[in-house]
Structure 1
Amino acid sequence: MCAKCTTGLNELIIACGFTDKYENKIVSWVSDEMPFNVSANNKIILEVPQFNLRAENYYFTYQISHKTTSPKDFCDVLHNAASITVIESDFFNVGRKIRPGSSLLLDASFK
């Protein structure tokens, strides 16, 4: 970790998200845009209550930066740090599986 990133966890910006196999960004979260707390034991936890994706492989990337999200302030970046495979499901509970593809699914219905 770079020297400026050891000055204090509250000055860091954590950005992370998932891309598809074509490196298209599917979803991302950035700590300076949302509630951000560092626990007493210096853990940072991102809680995502619902994470609905179409069946596909997705790749997790993160970056840690100091005070801004400018590349000049990056302390650590790791592309494809992990991957997940989402399997087909009957997301809408209609008796058939949704089509594969790389995108988010939001709960909705046609009326």
Structure 2
Amino acid sequence: MRLTKTAYILTEGEIIGYNDFDEPIFGEATTDPFLMEWEPFSTKLAESSYGVTVDVQYRMFTYPNEKLKINQDIVYKNKKYKITEVKDFDKHYEVLVRYEGEYQ
């Protein structure tokens, strides 16, 4: 499999303390790069290909990565996406994602 694009797993920082209103204060968010390929996809294709009904706009192919889980945020080309489904095959993952907005 030829993977030519780089995306990032977005992980919120750990809780480092609490403010005066007892709300958590988070440390710096981290990004973990991984290689992948990307293609447009749809909810209807997800139903017919995988038998799942999820909100999806893109499908990603990548090497197996335990950090890629449902509801995990990823960043690609300064845009934020949410993972809606992960299909684990022997030598690769097929990951369905939906667009969430611009990443800052």
Larger Rg: 1
The structure showing larger relative contact order (alpha-carbon pairs under 8 Å, at least 6 residues apart) is 1
Counting strand residues as a fraction of each chain, which structure ranks higher?
2
State the TM-score, normalizing by the size of structure 2: 0.29
State the TM-score, normalizing by the size of structure 1: 0.28
Counting helix residues as a fraction of each chain, which structure ranks higher?
1
